[in-house]
């Protein structure tokens, strides 16, 4: 079965202009993958990844079939068209291509296919903050919980890049807030080094909206205290986290910091007025932690 001439002409016209703006898409994809490798996502690339790059580098121009006037659309097989589109749609999404063009391409590719870095199209849209393309992919059935080779979901990637609106869109679609990547980090962990509070605030609001605090399960702040992640605790408090919210066991974040001998995070919590109740004091006494007790009593 052959490719439809109309689709061929639309893609050829778009790619002709896109090439002038962003360069050859096949080469850009190779550069994009290598750049991801340099950033750390591909420190130990699997053999199939290396082979894939070599195959792409050795092949003729991926879009030569579409730009070559001597080759008619009737001669382009449907399987070949799908292969071209699947490889290059990552490039177009990363560059923020026209949604109308991406939508037509999605008629011929698997929306949940992954590249050699195990990135889905949704990962790429989230990474680059392309909200309209992200919405299109979600409407076409893109899965929220696919993991890349670092175990990260699209929500991880958006939070890490501080794309607040994309984070909100993914959460509205039902993305899990607590999925852990290969380093046991959930999306909120990745906001700790962001310059502003937008993503942290969005995640906190979603946590409240889903009733986590009402259900008295450990909140982001409780988890930060347990892990002695003072940077994250500070970020969450700046973003509006309630310092004295309690779990079902009637424990506060300060209690978890004390029980783990996590003095740095305990100090951060005390700075914003965390309540030092008898349960917290008893825990410090039971652990025979004199320095923590002095910190709690304000004798530091």
Q: Is the pLDDT of residue 67 over 60?
A: no
Residues 6+ apart with CB under 8 A from 180: 151, 186
pLDDT in the model for residue 171? 98
pLDDT in the model for residue 270? 98
First and final C-alpha spacing in the chain: 78
pLDDT in the model for residue 88? 84
CA 14, CA 280: separation in Å to the nearest integer?
64
Tokens of 100: 């109308």
- Which residues is 2 bridged to in the sheet? 77
Ordered structural domains, the chain, with CATH? 211-300 (1.25.40.20)
* Signed CA dihedral, 79, 84, 87, 88: sign only: negative
How does DSSP classify residue 21?
Answer: H
Q: What is the pLDDT of residues 144-194, one digit of tens each?
A: 999 999 999 999 999 999 999 999 999 999 999 999 999 999 999 999 988
Q: Is 220 exposed, middle or buried (0-12, 13-18, 19+ CB in 10 A)?
A: buried
pLDDT in the model for residue 70? 35
pLDDT in the model for residue 52? 45
Instruction: Please give the mean pLDDT across all residues of the chain.
Output: 80
pLDDT in the model for residue 63? 38
Its pTM stands at 0.72
Q: What is the pLDDT of residues 2-42, one digit of tens each?
A: 445 565 566 656 555 555 544 554 555 555 555 555 554 44
Q: What is the pLDDT of residues 115-130, one digit of tens each?
A: 999 999 999 999 999 9
Q: Are 189 and 153 in contact (CB under 8 A)?
A: no
pLDDT in the model for residue 49? 37
pLDDT in the model for residue 20? 53
Q: Is the pLDDT of residue 98 over 60?
A: yes
CA 206, CA 198: separation in Å to the nearest integer?
12
Q: What is the pLDDT of residues 236-271, one digit of tens each?
A: 999 999 999 998 888 999 999 999 999 999 999 999
Q: Which long-range contacts (CB under 8 A, 24 or more apart) does 175-178 make?
A: 175/144, 175/145, 176/144, 176/145, 177/203, 177/206, 177/207, 177/210
Residue with tokens 């949604």: 99
Q: Which of 37, 57, 53 is nearest to 45 (CA)?
A: 37
CA 143, CA 179: separation in Å to the nearest integer?
14
CA 63, CA 19: separation in Å to the nearest integer?
10
Per-residue b/e over 244-276, b at no fewer than 16 CB within 10 Å?
Answer: ebbbeeebbbbbbbbbbebbebbbbbbeeebeb
Query: How many other C-beta atoms lie within 10 A of the C-beta of residue 148?
Result: 24
- Which residues is 77 bridged to in the sheet? 2
C-alpha gyration radius of the chain = 25
Q: What is the average per-residue pLDDT within 45-61?
A: 42
pLDDT in the model for residue 218? 85
Query: How many other C-beta atoms lie within 10 A of the C-beta of residue 35?
Result: 11
pLDDT in the model for residue 193? 86
Confidence of residue 214 (pLDDT cuts 50, 70, 90): low
């Amino acid at each position: 079965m052959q490719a439809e001439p109309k689709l061929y002409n639309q893609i050829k016209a778009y790619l002709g202009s896109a090439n002038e703006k962003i360069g050859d898409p096949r080469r850009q994809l190779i550069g994009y993958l290598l750049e991801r490798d340099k950033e750390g996502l591909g420190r130990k690339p699997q053999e199939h990844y290396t082979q894939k790059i070599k195959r792409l580098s050795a092949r003729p121009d991926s879009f030569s079939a579409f730009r070559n006037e001597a080759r008619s659309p009737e001669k382009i097989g449907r399987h070949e068209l799908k292969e071209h589109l699947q490889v290059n749609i990552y490039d177009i999404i990363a560059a923020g291509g026209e949604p109308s063009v991406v939508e037509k391409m999605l008629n011929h590719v698997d929306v949940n296919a992954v590249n050699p870095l195990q990135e889905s199209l949704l990962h790429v849209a989230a990474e680059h903050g392309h909200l309209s393309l992200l919405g299109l992919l979600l409407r076409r059935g893109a899965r929220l919980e696919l993991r890349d080779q670092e175990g990260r979901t699209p929500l991880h990637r958006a939070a890490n890049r501080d794309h607040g609106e994309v984070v909100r869109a993914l959460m509205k679609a039902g993305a899990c807030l607590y999925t852990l990547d290969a380093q046991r980090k959930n999306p909120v962990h990745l906001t700790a080094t962001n310059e502003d509070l937008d993503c942290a605030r969005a995640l906190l609001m979603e946590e409240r909206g889903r009733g986590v605090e009402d259900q008295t399960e450990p909140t982001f702040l409780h988890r930060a205290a347990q892990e002695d992640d003072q940077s994250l605790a500070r970020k969450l408090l700046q973003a509006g986290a309630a310092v004295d919210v309690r779990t079902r066991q009637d424990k506060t974040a300060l209690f978890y910091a004390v029980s783990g001998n996590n003095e740095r995070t305990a100090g951060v919590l005390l700075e914003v007025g965390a309540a030092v109740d008898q349960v917290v004091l008893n825990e410090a006494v039971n652990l025979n932690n004199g320095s923590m007790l002095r910190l709690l009593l304000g004798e530091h």
